[in-house]
């Protein structure tokens, strides 16, 4: 009846296959080609209706050019397509119409020539950042229809329609069979008549990921809306977006028109094709099997000869490099003499696919394949149970993902499934243990044995003003309660906090007080637990949004005292300082221990299966993520601190270094490192982050050094029992004593059982 543990979670419809990848006897082998090889920076790129790839490039000297390359014919060099462009105009987007011609979305700048194509590629990565004056002075917008050899067939000036759009950035353009143009720009699709007049503007309210024309001529947009991924068709008669009628549940991904089928799309790590009338999509391939990071894919083309071409732009690495990838189907055996290792996990986050793809690409001895356990209908425990069953049956993966919770770490240890990595780490020729933060490594150590390698981490903590929380390294629950008592009645301790969340927070940090792990007894009936109950009861039952001032104001004027924070960079520290506008202290969660700031994994964190037949290979992968090269690039890829001290220092050095640019009036100004937005909805704050001071870096270093790993005594099950019982107290229907007795009764069973 374990099965019933599967039940707590909500219902999701996403279809995911758990099947291992090993059972296919073929594999798609990838060939990569750098599209920037000849000194051009590549911007927009697409596959044409033929088997050619078209891309816009601009050279250092400001020459802009449209290139084409016939992949179907096996060409490996691009040839220019003669297109006339004015000096300050560039091709923002390339598209197709239904007659096999190309469409160019051309934007002309009024003022100085900038290397815009490249800039705008970056802007596409995150539209928050696009504020960087991309479209401030637009001098002209044109949609140009050209034949495949570059002859202009039609040129429509749409300046008076699109020129008004603030910060215009054209992402996609296409035409339907009636000759109407569809322009995807700035969270909207603009539909223009063949003459260039506006037919309608369809707002998605968010970044539109995909715009394409299906084979029946319907134009479809895909974006991540409030309720999840939406795939909608453009309904011109109703001038609205209309949900597609299909029983397939589509999820976040990259969508485009299929060749024979309606839609071709990449979701998670897999490429699917489907007709809308299908009940399930057909899987074409798993990108990860070919060591391709599916998150960086822009567009895919199924070639007639069975090969598959893809355009990829990797925004995660330092230089976003546009690549053409051509996949050829090969017999699994002929492809690699590589030994295959499996990586067992319950979900595949982007950084995992990143790391595995990178490892596979560089290793000539090993290949990692992901085996995913469970699907969205299961909760984490149930998924972990499936993984465990495989381990017990001797079919377990070589590498076991350990990112998600500490309780599963303890379960796997008690199962005896995890190899102690200490000897590997200590005997390695390249990696030296002392080069890494010991407290971070120890997050995954128990009884002196190291069970997983954590290459990248963040710190979860509580932030407050020094004037409130003092400059101590940690505080106890009593300190917290006293602080609250000293404040006026309507002061809030944490935003968005309820009776329940405070109760959980306090209990999880103080579980050690109630539970005696040695004797296996617990005591909730003493005064301490009741105090927590009473304290939590002062908070509102539900998150209230009745305060008319934003959270930043409330923090600055003292109505709100603390913030829960997750820092993964110095810039975040700077942001918190900016929010509080006062000296701050990362005091951490209330605890009786030494520190209440907790280390959390923020990247591929894995352990090794004791029974792995390829321990050497497994270690190769774990070690790969610790290498200097990987560690130094982590901040950009994962947004966390690297575990390697040297790499962290290098990152710090970057954080304090200021970059300047010359302003229009000739003065030197510091360039902002990035722009941060914190908050939700309308209640948010945006700040530009500049170089950090040595002081700030020192503070971050200090926090990192003093943070601890969780010891796993907090268990979700216990917290959920506590909060379930506490509700009757919060409702005023039972006394604190009754609740404490019930909690005692149920948790004692729990504790007995785990002994």
Nearer Cβ to another protein, position 342 or 585? Answer: 342
Alpha carbon 291 to chain centroid distance?
19
Minimum CB distance to another protein, residue 443 (Å): 21
Site for another protein in 502-521 (CB under 8 A): 504, 520
| In the block, residue with structure tokens 């000739």 | 666
- 342, 399 contact by CB (below 8 A): yes
Q: How many binding residues for another protein (CB under 8 A)?
A: 72
> What is d(CA 700, CA 740) in angstroms, rounded to the nearest whole number?
40
> What is d(CA 202, CA 220) in angstroms, rounded to the nearest whole number?
12
Classify residue 33 by burial, with Cβ atoms within 10 Å: 0-12, 13-18, 19+.
middle
Residue-level length of the chain:
755
> What is d(CA 515, CA 105) in angstroms, rounded to the nearest whole number?
66
From the list 268-276, 295-303, 552-560, 716-724, the region that binds another protein by CB under 8 A is 716-724
Minimum CB distance to another protein, residue 344 (Å): 14
> What is d(CA 110, CA 104) in angstroms, rounded to the nearest whole number?
19
Site for another protein in 471-500 (CB under 8 A): 500
Is position 6 an interface residue for another protein (rule: CB under 8 A)?
yes
Site for another protein in 264-293 (CB under 8 A): 279-280
From the list 98-106, 167-175, 591-599, 738-746, the region that binds another protein by CB under 8 A is 738-746
Nearer Cβ to another protein, position 373 or 573? Answer: 373
From the list 99-107, 488-496, 585-593, 729-737, the region that binds another protein by CB under 8 A is 729-737
Is position 747 an interface residue for another protein (rule: CB under 8 A)?
yes
Site for another protein in 199-258 (CB under 8 A): 247
Nearer Cβ to another protein, position 40 or 250? Answer: 250
Sequence-distant (6+) residues with CB within 8 A of 303 are 51, 71, 72, 309
Minimum CB distance to another protein, residue 503 (Å): 10
Is position 674 an interface residue for another protein (rule: CB under 8 A)?
no
CA angle, 109 as apex, 38 and 195 as ends, to 5°? 105
Is position 412 an interface residue for another protein (rule: CB under 8 A)?
yes
> In the numeric block, which tokens belong to residue 642?
């690297």
> What is d(CA 537, CA 125) in angstroms, rounded to the nearest whole number?
44
Is position 416 an interface residue for another protein (rule: CB under 8 A)?
yes
Site for another protein in 601-660 (CB under 8 A): 610-611
> In the numeric block, which tokens belong to residue 269?
């790590």
Nearer Cβ to another protein, position 248 or 644? Answer: 248
Is position 435 an interface residue for another protein (rule: CB under 8 A)?
no
Nearer Cβ to another protein, position 677 or 752? Answer: 752
Minimum CB distance to another protein, residue 235 (Å): 20
From the list 100-108, 181-189, 361-369, 717-725, the region that binds another protein by CB under 8 A is 717-725
Is position 581 an interface residue for another protein (rule: CB under 8 A)?
no
Minimum CB distance to another protein, residue 401 (Å): 15
Spell out, one character per residue from 368 to 407, where the chain touches another protein: x when CB under 8 A holds, - when not. Answer: ------xxxxxx-xx-xxx-xxxxxx-x------------
Is position 742 an interface residue for another protein (rule: CB under 8 A)?
yes
Q: How far is CA 395 from CA 107, 413, 618, 653, in A?
A: 57, 17, 15, 46
Is position 540 an interface residue for another protein (rule: CB under 8 A)?
no
- 183, 190 contact by CB (below 8 A): yes
Nearer Cβ to another protein, position 322 or 397? Answer: 397
> In the numeric block, which tokens belong to residue 110?
């009024």
Nearer Cβ to another protein, position 494 or 610? Answer: 610
Is position 189 an interface residue for another protein (rule: CB under 8 A)?
no
List the end-to-end C-alpha distance of the chain, in Å, as a whole number. Answer: 21
> What is d(CA 108, CA 94) in angstroms, rounded to the nearest whole number?
15
| In the block, residue with structure tokens 């603030």 | 166
> What is d(CA 334, CA 29) in angstroms, rounded to the nearest whole number?
10
Nearer Cβ to another protein, position 353 or 723? Answer: 723
One residue of 19, 87, 636, 698 binding another protein per CB under 8 A: 19
Is position 425 an interface residue for another protein (rule: CB under 8 A)?
no
Is position 9 an interface residue for another protein (rule: CB under 8 A)?
yes
Is position 73 an interface residue for another protein (rule: CB under 8 A)?
no
Sequence-distant (6+) residues with CB within 8 A of 502 are 493, 494, 535, 536, 539
Minimum CB distance to another protein, residue 26 (Å): 20
> What is d(CA 230, CA 207) in angstroms, rounded to the nearest whole number?
12
> In the numeric block, which tokens belong to residue 702?
């200090």
- 27, 290 contact by CB (below 8 A): yes
């Amino acid at each position: 009846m374990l099965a019933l543990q599967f039940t707590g979670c909500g219902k999701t419809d996403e279809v995911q296959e758990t099947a291992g990848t090993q059972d296919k006897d073929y594999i798609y082998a990838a060939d990569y080609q750098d599209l920037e090889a000849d000194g051009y920076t590549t911007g927009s790129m697409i596959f044409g209706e033929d088997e050619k790839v078209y891309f816009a490039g601009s050279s250092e000297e400001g020459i802009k050019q449209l290139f084409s390359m016939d992949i179907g014919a096996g060409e490996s060099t691009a040839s220019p397509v003669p297109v006339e462009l004015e000096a300050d105009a560039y091709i923002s987007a390339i598209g197709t119409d239904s007659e096999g011609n190309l469409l160019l979305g051309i934007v002309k700048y009024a003022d100085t020539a900038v290397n815009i194509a490249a800039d705008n590629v970056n802007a596409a990565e995150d539209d928050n950042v696009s504020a960087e004056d991309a479209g401030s002075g637009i001098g002209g917008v044109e949609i140009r229809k050209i034949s495949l050899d570059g002859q202009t067939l039609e040129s429509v000036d749409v300046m008076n329609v699109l020129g008004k759009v603030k910060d215009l950035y054209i992402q996609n353009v296409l035409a339907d069979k009636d000759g109407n143009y569809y322009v995807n720009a700035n969270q909207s699709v603009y539909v223009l008549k063949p003459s260039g007049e506006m037919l309608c503007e369809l707002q998605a309210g968010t970044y539109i990921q995909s715009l394409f024309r299906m084979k029946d001529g319907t134009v479809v947009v895909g974006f991540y809306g409030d309720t999840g991924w939406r795939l909608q068709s453009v309904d011109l008669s109703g001038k609205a977006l209309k949900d597609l009628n299909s029983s397939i549940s589509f999820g976040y991904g990259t969508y485009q028109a299929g060749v024979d089928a309606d839609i071709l799309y990449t979701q998670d790590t897999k490429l699917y094709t489907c007709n809308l009338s299908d009940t399930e999509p057909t899987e074409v391939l798993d990108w990860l099997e070919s060591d391709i990071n599916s998150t960086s894919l822009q567009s895919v083309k199924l070639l007639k000869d069975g090969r598959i071409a893809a355009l990829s732009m990797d925004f995660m690495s330092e230089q976003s490099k546009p690549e053409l990838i051509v996949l050829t189907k090969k017999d699994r055996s002929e492809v690699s003499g590589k030994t295959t290792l499996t990586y067992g996990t319950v979900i595949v986050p982007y950084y995992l696919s990143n790391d595995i793809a990178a490892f596979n690409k560089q290793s000539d001895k090993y290949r990692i394949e992901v085996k995913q356990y469970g699907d969205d209908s299961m909760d984490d425990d149930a998924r972990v149970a499936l993984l465990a069953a495989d381990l017990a049956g001797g079919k377990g993966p070589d590498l076991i993902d350990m990112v998600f919770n500490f309780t599963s770490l303890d379960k796997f240890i008690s199962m005896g499934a995890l190899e102690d990595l200490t000897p590997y780490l200590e005997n390695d020729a390249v990696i030296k243990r002392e080069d890494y933060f010991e407290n971070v490594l120890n997050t995954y150590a128990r009884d002196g044995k190291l069970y997983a390698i954590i290459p990248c981490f963040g710190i979860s903590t509580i932030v407050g003003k020094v004037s409130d929380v003092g400059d101590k390294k940690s505080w106890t629950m009593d300190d917290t309660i006293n602080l609250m008592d000293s404040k006026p009645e309507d002061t809030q301790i944490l935003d968005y906090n309820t009776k329940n969340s405070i109760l959980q927070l306090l209990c999880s940090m103080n579980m050690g007080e109630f539970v005696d792990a040695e004797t296996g007894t617990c005591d909730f009936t003493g005064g301490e637990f009741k105090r927590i109950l009473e304290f939590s009861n002062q908070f509102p039952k539900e998150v209230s949004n009745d305060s008319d001032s934003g959270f930043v104001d409330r923090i600055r004027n003292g109505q709100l005292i603390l913030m829960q924070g997750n820092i993964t960079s110095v810039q975040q520290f700077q942001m918190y300082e900016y929010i509080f506008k006062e000296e701050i202290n990362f005091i951490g969660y209330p605890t009786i221990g030494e520190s209440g700031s907790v280390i959390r994994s923020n990247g591929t964190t894995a352990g090794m299966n004791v029974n792995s037949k390829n321990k050497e290979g497994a270690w190769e992968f774990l070690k790969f993520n610790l290498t200097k090269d990987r560690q130094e690039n982590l901040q950009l890829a994962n947004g966390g601190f690297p575990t390697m001290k040297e790499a962290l220092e290098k990152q710090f050095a970057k954080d304090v270094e200021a970059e300047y640019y010359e302003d229009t009036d000739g003065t030197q100004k510091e360039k902002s490192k990035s722009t941060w937005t914190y908050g939700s909805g309308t209640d948010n704050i945006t700040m530009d982050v500049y170089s950090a001071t040595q002081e700030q870096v020192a503070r971050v270093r200090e926090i990192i050094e003093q943070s601890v790993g969780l010891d796993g005594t907090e268990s979700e099950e216990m917290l959920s029992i506590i909060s379930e019982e506490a509700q009757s107290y919060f409702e005023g229907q039972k006394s604190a004593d009754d609740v404490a007795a019930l909690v005692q009764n149920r948790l004692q069973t729990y504790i007995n059982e785990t002994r």
